[in-house]
Structure 1
């Protein structure tokens, strides 16, 4: 039997019969259902109170995650629109996943996997598909001395945590740090799913110290395209294990649980925040230059993470987190930079810098944070929602967002050295004439300790991450929107103007990066050379893993490994191997 050439849709003669769906439902113990979107009311009565209530709920990321028809973003202009699957299996265990995969393979169905649903690329949804929904698989188990299966005598026991594929990072931090007194490298956004983040590589605020989330992976349970449940680690299926550490979610198999190394918790975490305004273009360019020099001397180290943003109105926004030092130490590091700003000749003013710190164990303690830093968290406001369902207020704009453009580029640390610094300063300034440029210091590992670098080196991520002092992100978005839904459609004219300026800013900045690399989970939907941009020299090896464990291409995601063999919607094969 040759490779699958075309997947079937509802209405096709070969679409599974009602009896076949009933058999699947029995196999998964009643966890199959047809998908109905709460947005259906808006298609019928877009101006109704009921529709407005639904759109209000789209700003709650927990509501989005708990609704199989929805995703955390509503779409991307000219790229994709969030669309419900035909059927969903709310899987409770690996056996459910295996039976669902078998059914999809046997009936030539388009298969989609959703955990947290945060994919900017739209990979956790597809119309006319069968959805594997892992949301209910949320168990979290701490281990004092974990040894991967089959590695006894070969690997030392490690402190670790095992989490189900549907777990969210906020809940994992609460278990591991607030209650367990340890640290696990995860994501910054509390409602991001654990499995998706790890399979994309995964950065959090303190990755400069601990490496990527994927670098901490010790073992995973995964169901492959043949319906087999496999335990993968450094000793069992090491090629697939390597591939899962950054090869992309929903591409190599369906991960059902992950075991991650935990680390000793620092004493304190802290924040420094300020907004600096330059009085002219020349003053802003000088400010950029001073900040780049300051970064080279102080921020390319394991202590610092998070962002600075260069805006078109000649302001610099600083929101950086630190670990491994106390509040006074952090203030001393930044004082020379703020002293420079204070000199009248430089034409800059600043809001009073805030330098805060707290016991590290309390950063994800919702009660503590709401008491001592009111306004920093929002709650899941649905009746009966668990108290631990909280999210950062700063992430509120991302719930339901409709993307206009999104690009990322790793910036090599050589650019902040004196010999090349001028090129970087010019490029940053020129880029901001088009759009805001944010530098995420935690998403580049130059300055990280050797253990973090070595662990991340043993993943499929583009090796550019190892030598980058920061990841530059240039992006823009609007409120939740759905094309063709009267009263709730995207502003396409505004969106295309934004997309053009975002592309111009990215193109300008990339003039100083010879071979631009991008972070898979925050990459451009329209990236031309996406294989190299996402994985660099690792793509050939990753493609071989894909061919071995998914030879027929059952798992398809946009810009996923070997996705070039399929049409843009993943339904028609366009190239045979």
Structure 2
């Protein structure tokens, strides 16, 4: 910032010497000044970087500074319109996000500029520039944030999409941990890589398993920082609990290594403390595991003929889950729908197809014996060689209907999304909530209350129980590893995460043809609220998963992190005392106004 700009801003003279320092002193002084100014700078305001200063940043990052424009400025001729059904193409556009907005909450709007980072030095340059010029800083990798944390108008974006190198290790020991930790198999992943990239490297080509997320286009770094659940988390825990080491650029522009012995509080905070609050991750190293021979699926739909029959079906399903599926073999979800419908989409590991069929036989026999319940979609029980579970070539040959490939000329042939996830491309959220349900509800004396709550919720809106997003029933070592993360402690005792959501078609600002029906959105959001109220009647203090949660959650510190929040806040004060990093309902965000531009008080 130039001296005359400070004078125009009426900054008092005693602060001016801060600008005369260099190196670390300058970095510290700029942070102190930002606190004194109590606000960040927008385009057109005094202090917004001059063209020459943006050009200097562009040189510092090897020309990789992009001036972003509204993606639909050309109207019906806008190239972005053709991308919206393809999440890979959306991710390749720095002006777009994988969620287009949330009714009465936020809408996706591009940053003013973006640094298309290709290395850690690019990230350092962007962080330093944002700090020194008091800019709103945003970080985007996969861009999947439901709560709009991966974009903001009038900001500088650190876009890590092109940082996607992956390296496998046979015997990794974190920095400074020789003699304290045994070497173990691991994978190092740069911050912009998607989970399909990690799975291709680790599983399809490497024959190992890494605990990641279910959606293939989600960014590795964002998922780990939120906690991170995949279909098989009931066995291998969360992505965060398997983090061995991270490279991170903190608010002072320093590149830090974080692991169990080096910057341990930063390391702990990165494991589930939420993305975008403590620094910019540039590289992560995650442990890998021996791959089982098979992964498998059980999928089908049952419809009951009356409310009484549906209540009986729910009771039978929950009793069956408690007796046969409440263990490390099983993950994914049951969906409870209007019309008295129950849909199963369960995945399993460590079992043969015959064992899975034997496991489900008693429940399916019960359904077939009922005159008031019908299997409307035949149950599929099948296994896949685990090494091919994320192998696009395998699916193109044997199950093309299961995937939606990227399909653009010249793009990687191994990129695809699951067909069931494709409907989320650029969706506009009407309402979304989550709640961890304690395993105590599965006890015989508590199951009737649980069944009543599930039935009551289904009368309001469709919802799902994701069993892999609660760690009750997992092995002791996975529980212990997850306990040493910032994720809400309730995850350790939860048998499932209840998810309730409603959404509409893409509705980016300025998008031709985008006409979100806000009246409908509000009605559906109210129905989502009522469904969650029914579940919270039996879990009144249930916490929420930060990545899949209510934008309007009031007591979000307790809701997302519970007793872990004070420790997270202490890490925030240590590594980002001036609040450079801000996201909605992120650690320390209570000190700022909703848009992240003005400090409260």
Whether these two folds match at TM > 0.5 is yes
Q: Is the 8 A contact 1:75 1:481 kept in 2?
A: yes
Structure 1 residue 38 corresponds to structure 2 residue 71: yes
Query: Shift in Å at residue 350 of structure 1?
Result: 4.1
- Partners of 1:55 and 1:405 lie apart in 2 by 25
Aligned length: 568
- After the TM superposition, which parts of structure 1 deviate over 6 Å for at least 4 consecutive aligned residues? none
User: Given the two structures, how large is their TM-score scaled by the length of structure 1?
Assistant: 0.97
Candidates 498, 501, 513, aligned match of 1:475: 501
Q: Is the 8 A contact 1:482 1:490 kept in 2?
A: no
Aligned to 1:25: 58
Q: Is the 8 A contact 2:297 2:383 kept in 1?
A: yes
Aligned to 1:199: 225
Q: Is the 8 A contact 1:288 1:425 kept in 2?
A: yes
Candidates 21, 44, 54, aligned match of 1:11: 44
Q: Is the 8 A contact 1:148 1:219 kept in 2?
A: yes
Q: Is the 8 A contact 2:248 2:258 kept in 1?
A: yes
Write out aligned runs for 1:17-96 (5 A).
17-42=50-75, 48=76, 50-51=77-78, 54-96=80-122
> How well do the aligned residues superpose, as a CA RMSD in angstroms?
1.1
Candidates 429, 432, 435, aligned match of 1:406: 432
Q: Any idea what SS the aligned residue of 1:352 has?
A: strand
Structure 1 residue 178 corresponds to structure 2 residue 204: yes
Q: Is the 8 A contact 2:272 2:487 kept in 1?
A: yes
Structure 1 residue 562 corresponds to structure 2 residue 562: no
Q: Is the 8 A contact 2:502 2:524 kept in 1?
A: yes
Write out aligned runs for 1:101-116 (5 A).
101-116=127-142
Q: Is the 8 A contact 1:483 1:490 kept in 2?
A: no
Structure 1 residue ranges without an equivalent (≥5): 43-47
- Partners of 2:600 and 2:343 lie apart in 1 by 46
Aligned to 1:45: none
- Partners of 2:524 and 2:205 lie apart in 1 by 44
Structure 2 residue ranges without an equivalent (≥5): 1-31
- Partners of 1:508 and 1:255 lie apart in 2 by 39
- Partners of 1:469 and 1:409 lie apart in 2 by 11
Structure 1 residue 495 corresponds to structure 2 residue 528: no
Query: Shift in Å at residue 483 of structure 1?
Result: 4.9
Q: Is the 8 A contact 1:81 1:482 kept in 2?
A: yes
- Partners of 2:394 and 2:415 lie apart in 1 by 14
Q: Any idea what SS the aligned residue of 2:248 has?
A: strand
- Partners of 1:229 and 1:351 lie apart in 2 by 53
Query: Shift in Å at residue 130 of structure 1?
Result: 0.1
Write out aligned runs for 1:104-183 (5 A).
104-183=130-209
Aligned to 2:487: 461
Aligned to 1:283: 309
- Partners of 2:60 and 2:250 lie apart in 1 by 18
Q: Any idea what SS the aligned residue of 2:365 has?
A: helix
Query: Shift in Å at residue 361 of structure 1?
Result: 0.4
More divergent stretch after superposition (563-572 vs 91-100)? 91-100
Q: Is the 8 A contact 1:37 1:70 kept in 2?
A: no
Spell out, residue by residue over 1:87-126, the C-alpha distance to the aligned partner (whole angstroms, 9 max, x if none): 0001111111111111101111000000000000100000
User: Given the two structures, how large is their TM-score scaled by the length of structure 2?
Assistant: 0.93
- Partners of 1:528 and 1:423 lie apart in 2 by 27
- Partners of 1:218 and 1:349 lie apart in 2 by 45
Query: Shift in Å at residue 30 of structure 1?
Result: 1.0
- Partners of 1:87 and 1:25 lie apart in 2 by 10
Query: Shift in Å at residue 416 of structure 1?
Result: 1.1
Query: Shift in Å at residue 484 of structure 1?
Result: 5.8
Aligned to 1:271: 297
